[in-house]
């Protein structure tokens, strides 16, 4: 596999380069949320459990820097900022879907059970 420099960093493989765009704990969950529609900071925050303000901001900034998302600021108070996928970001969606499906397969094969939130009566399984 080839290696190359980009933005002062050495990448060993195209895989590494791809993961610099969508890797880490939060980038894929964020991009995944944006595929449906434009989202505001707080909407993403509510949608993505456990993410902190700091991580959400930093990951949004990195995604923007890599051209995966757009950031649109409205000059209002309180602030309003909308995030949306760029074409490049949209290219990532099927990749993320593949990884997600693989994750679900693995979970299934491990026999891992996680609480389904399909119904309200979580504590009274049928």
Partner DNA sequence: TCCTATACTTACCTTTTTGTAAGTATGAAA
Partner DNA sequence: TTTCATACTTACAAAAAGGTAAGTATAGGA
- Is 99 a binder of a second copy (CB under 8 A)? yes
Q: Which range in 30-38, 57-65, 85-93, 112-120 contacts DNA by CB under 7 A?
A: 57-65
CB of 55 to DNA, least distance (A): 4
Task: Give the other-Cβ count within 10 Å of 68's Cβ.
Answer: 23
State how far the Cα of 16 lies from the Cα of 66, in Å rounded to an integer: 14
- Is 100 a binder of a second copy (CB under 8 A)? yes
Give residues 49-88 in contact with a second copy (rule: CB under 8 A): 49-50, 88
State how far the Cα of 9 lies from the Cα of 55, in Å rounded to an integer: 22
Rg of the Cα trace of the chain?
Answer: 18
Choosing among a second copy, DNA, none, which partner's interface includes residue 104 (Cβ < 5 to 8 Å by kind)?
a second copy
State how far the Cα of 106 lies from the Cα of 97, in Å rounded to an integer: 14
- Is 18 a binder of a second copy (CB under 8 A)? yes
State how far the Cα of 8 lies from the Cα of 51, in Å rounded to an integer: 29
CB of 118 to DNA, least distance (A): 26
Q: Which residues form the interface with DNA (CB under 7 A)?
A: 24-26, 40-42, 50-55, 57-58, 60-61, 71, 77-81
């Amino acid at each position: 596999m080839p290696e190359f420099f980009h933005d002062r960093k050495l990448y060993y493989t195209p895989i590494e380069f791809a993961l610099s765009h969508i890797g880490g704990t939060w980038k894929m969950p964020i991009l995944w949320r944006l595929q449906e529609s434009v989202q505001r900071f707080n909407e993403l925050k509510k949608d993505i459990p456990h993410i902190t303000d700091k991580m959400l901001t930093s990951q949004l900034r990195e995604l923007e820097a890599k051209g995966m998302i757009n950031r649109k600021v409205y000059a209002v108070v309180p602030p309003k900022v909308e995030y949306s996928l760029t074409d490049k970001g949209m290219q990532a969606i099927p990749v993320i879907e593949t990884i997600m499906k693989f994750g679900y397969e693995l979970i299934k094969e491990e026999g891992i059970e996680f609480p389904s939130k399909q119904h309200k009566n979580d504590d009274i399984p049928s």
